[in-house]
A and B are shown apart, each in its own frame.
Chain A
């Protein structure tokens, strides 16, 4: 039975989450909330988390030597290889357990955190390798839709029209022209994997998915919509609101794919136009003032509508058909 927020809060009044206060992430950043949600559930379920991080905002802001915000074992190796690094950690655990060097009853949770750059782009190969080999590691993507640590460059997760420094909205070009890469589909296309999306505005859904992912007998992946208040140009108290809008506009559908079986976990009765999501953020301001803004918004609207329909269809056809 999943816990509710009140129970969790009470529990963690006395217990350590694993990441403490004192990190230097921007106030309102989605990344530390993502981490806290994941770690709280892991600890609540009795796991001992061992955490790996890809280079990025979360990493540089939590471990400025000689300080660290982590009170659980933590490793950062490089930008592109958190999945491979955690493959090694998890394998070491199995090897040492087989040789009787690790207590049998210790319940580890191996968790890798990576930004969208480290996941969709440079780290994709290492992520795919980790999943294909079946390492029991939960990979948590905090998707802030750009390379934020290096100052808001485009990634393959950046949506069209978002203003970034390497694909700026200019006089000639409307910023990034390509759609966001669908990372969940890529991950779900591997065999024997659990993949899901989550949003900070839907904690119960989030918690249930972390629990499922950790208890899943194989690799798991959680894509978390993680606002970057700084480069999305929103107030630092708007993180949850923006997440909510993302879900309500179909921009960030909440679903899970368990061994090829799709399940849409939140089905809002009414949707808002995607334009509302764009208008709420400064990163689209320059796009919205362009004469061709409508075309781009329409294109995005059409895309999110079609993807939603497709998800529902997949849910229907994959029901009870765990092919992967």
Chain B
């Protein structure tokens, strides 16, 4: 198969829907919520036009979307759905169940602020509320990454040593509705890469009946959780293998994190998602002014790539963490994870926590520059949560 890519300008939603078209899952459950809606709309069109042989379940709620996807996956089907914010929150109970049943479900999550008051714009409060649910969480900076991760996630979820569901996070409106050039790989190449699902203990195998979701009391539950913990640990081993194969097939390299101008960087910014593009832009400017600044983009938030952070951030002068979510009464989630990762490094950098962009508030280059300047001027105070773009 030849690698003839098609370069098109599309929204993130269209990019993800196209990945889903190429994956051609057996079952897709769909429920609309802004800004996720166009994903299921595009996909419904593919189904209506007979482009894919997927059975779609237009459910009556996200709770049923996740429930149906759990049923379909347990039955032995490759199953997907997509959601945002309140939809994800409504699924919450079943999001945990999907992970503990070790079902290889892939779900794009178009990140949006969680109510209330209701707000439809981007932040990461929805994804952060599920960070302990047992799902693998990937975050895309660009539409290309959202497309690529959707494809890659299938392999990761279905790997026999993992068998865990994957959330592909993409920033609401910024990516989902923003148009960017994306290289679509040929259908046959994607199909070959994702391969066929090898279901484990499918319900439809009546010759080998299995009881899914029994009552699991104190004599076994703990051990089962331990197995889930191991599966999550295995991601650290399996992901680089799959990423290598992805690179060989499609020519794009992914890893747990993406370093940007990091080699000699003294001040490093850490963030999730699309804001990394703005960070890179500011880094280029600051570099021209002679400042040794860089970034460490987090591609994989769960499992958290602690080892990579330790290796790459040890000995830096400062680390500035940008969070698009808060944890009321505690440190912002990404900051907390970065900080705890750096506890063990030999030469701990000084740390700064910056919360930005809640409810879709713009993050501008000058905000990022301000945070870098704080670092450069030695004006970071660990555990002082600061805000970017907030009227005080």
Cβ contact within 8 Å between B215 and A64? yes
Is there contact, CB below 8 Å, between A86 and B71? Answer: yes
A62 to chain B, nearest CB (A): 9
Could you tell me the distance between the alpha carbons of A52 and B65 in the complex, rounded to whole angstroms? Answer: 16
B97 contacts A78, C-beta separation under 8 Å: yes
Contacts of B39 in A (CB 8 A): none
Interface residue? A291 (CB, 8 A): no
Cβ–Cβ contact A91 & B68, under 8 A:
yes
B130-164 near A? 1/0 per residue, CB < 8 Å: 00000000000000000000000000000000000
Is B206 interfacial (CB 8 A cutoff)?
yes
Whether B53 lies near A85 (C-beta < 8 A) is no
Contact of B76 with A by CB under 8 A: yes
Looking at B54-62, B302-310, B352-360, the stretch in contact with chain A turns out to be B54-62
A177 at the interface (CB under 8 A from B): no
Please indicate the chain B residues that have their CB under 8 angstroms from the CB of A86 in the complex.
Answer: 71
**Shortest Cβ distance from residue B66 to the other chain A in the assembled complex, whole angstroms:** 8
- In the assembled complex, which residues on chain B have CB atoms less than 8 Å from the CB atom of A87? 57, 59, 64, 67-68, 71
* Alpha-carbon gap, A88 to B204, bound state (A): 12
Would you call B229 an interface residue if the criterion is a C-beta within 8 Å of the partner chain's C-beta atoms? no
**In the assembled complex, which residues on chain B have CB atoms less than 8 Å from the CB atom of A72?**
206, 209
CA distance A86 to B69 in the complex (A): 10
A126-134, A237-245, A248-256, A294-302 - interface stretch: A126-134
Q: How far is the CA of A59 from the CA of B64 in the complex (A)?
A: 20
CB neighbours (8 Å) of B74 from chain A are 75, 88-89
Candidates B53, B55, B63, B216; contact of A80 at CB < 8 Å? B63
Asked if A81 is at the interface of the complex by the 8 Å CB criterion, the answer is yes
Q: In the complex, A73→B341 CA distance in Å?
A: 44
Hey, which chain B residues are within 8 Å of A223, CB to CB?
Answer: none
Contact with B along A121-161 (1 / 0, CB 8 A): 00001101100110000000000000000000000000000
Q: How far is the CA of A98 from the CA of B54 in the complex (A)?
A: 9
B220 touches A (CB below 8 Å): yes
Q: How far is the CB of A99 from the nearest CB of chain B, in Å?
A: 6
Contact: B220 with A66, CB < 8 Å? yes
Q: Chain A residues near B61 (CB, 8 Å)?
A: 125-126, 129
Query: Using Cβ atoms and an 8 Å threshold, which residues of chain B touch A98?
Result: 53, 55
CB <8 Å contact, B209 and A88: no
CB distance from A148 to the nearest CB of B (A): 15
Q: Does chain A have a CB within 8 A of B212?
A: yes
User: Cα distance A78–B71 when bound, in Å?
Assistant: 11
Q: Is the CB of B213 within 8 A of A68?
A: no
- The answer to the question of A308 belonging to the interface, with a C-beta cut-off of 8 Å to chain B, is no
The answer for the CA separation of A128 and B61 in the assembled complex, in Å, is 11
Q: Is B110 an interface residue (CB 8 A)?
A: no
Q: Is the beta-carbon distance between A126 and B211 smaller than 8 angstroms?
A: no
Nearest CB of chain B from residue A281's CB, rounded to whole Å: 28
**A91→B27 contact, CB < 8 A:** yes
Q: Are A74 and B212 in contact (CB under 8 A)?
A: yes
CB-nearest residue of chain A to B212: A75
B211 and A91 contacting across the interface, CB-CB below 8 Å: no
Within the assembled complex, what's the spacing in Å between the Cα atoms of A244 and B149? 60
Selected from A73, A76, A94, A102, the residue in CB contact (under 8 A) with B214 is A76
- Out of B29, B59, B97, B203, which one reaches A89, CB within 8 Å? B203
Is there an interface contact between B63 and A63, defined as CB atoms closer than 8 Å? Answer: no
| Known contacts A87-B71, A94-B55; A126/B76 CB under 8 A | no
Q: Does B77 contact A (CB under 8 A)?
A: yes
Min CB gap A200→B, angstroms: 25
Chain B minimum-CB-distance residue to A106: B206
Point out the residues of chain B lying under 8 angstroms from A94, CB to CB.
Answer: 55
Assess whether A77 is interfacial by the CB under 8 Å rule.
Answer: yes
Q: Which residues of A have CB within 8 Å of B54?
A: 95
Given contacts A86-B71, A95-B26, A95-B77, contact A74 B59 (CB under 8 A): no
Q: Are A88 and B27 in contact (CB under 8 A)?
A: yes
Contacts of A75 in B (CB 8 A): 71, 74, 203, 212-213
Contact of A81 among B57, B63, B76 (CB under 8 A): B63
B67/A126 in contact, CB under 8 A:
yes
Check B212 against A88 for contact (C-beta < 8 Å): no
Pairwise interchain contact B211-A77, C-beta atoms closer than 8 A: no
Nearest residue in A to B98 (C-beta to C-beta)? Answer: A77
Distance of A94 Cα from B212 Cα, bound (Å):
20
Kindly provide the distance from the CB of B268 to the nearest chain A CB, expressed in whole angstroms.
43
* Residues B97 and A77 in contact, CB atoms below 8 Å apart: yes
Q: For B206, list chain A residues within 8 Å (CB).
A: 48, 50, 72-73, 106, 108
Chain B contacts of A126 at CB under 8 A?
A: 60-61, 63-64, 67
Task: Report if B205 contacts A (CB, 8 A).
Answer: yes
Interface string of B18-30 (1 = CB under 8 A from A): 0000000011010
Nearest chain A CB to B154's CB is how many angstroms away? 16
Residues on B with beta carbons closer than 8 Å to the beta carbon of A80: 63
Candidates B57, B205, B213; contact of A91 at CB < 8 Å: B57
* 9 tightest A-B CB contacts, nearest first: A88-B71, A88-B68, A129-B60, A92-B77, A63-B214, A84-B64, A92-B75, A84-B67, A81-B67
Give A contacts to B, CB under 8 Å. 48, 50, 52, 59-60, 63-66, 68, 70-78, 80-81, 83-89, 91-96, 98-99, 102, 106, 108, 125-126, 128-129, 132-133
What are 25 A-B contacts defined by CB distance under 8 Å? A64-B214, A65-B220, A72-B206, A73-B203, A75-B213, A76-B212, A76-B214, A81-B63, A84-B67, A84-B71, A91-B57, A91-B72, A92-B27, A92-B71, A94-B55, A95-B27, A95-B53, A95-B54, A95-B72, A99-B53, A106-B206, A108-B206, A125-B61, A126-B61, A133-B59
**14 additional contacts (CB under 8 A) given A73-B206, A89-B75:** A63-B214, A63-B215, A64-B215, A66-B220, A73-B212, A74-B203, A77-B94, A78-B93, A85-B68, A88-B57, A88-B71, A88-B72, A91-B27, A91-B72
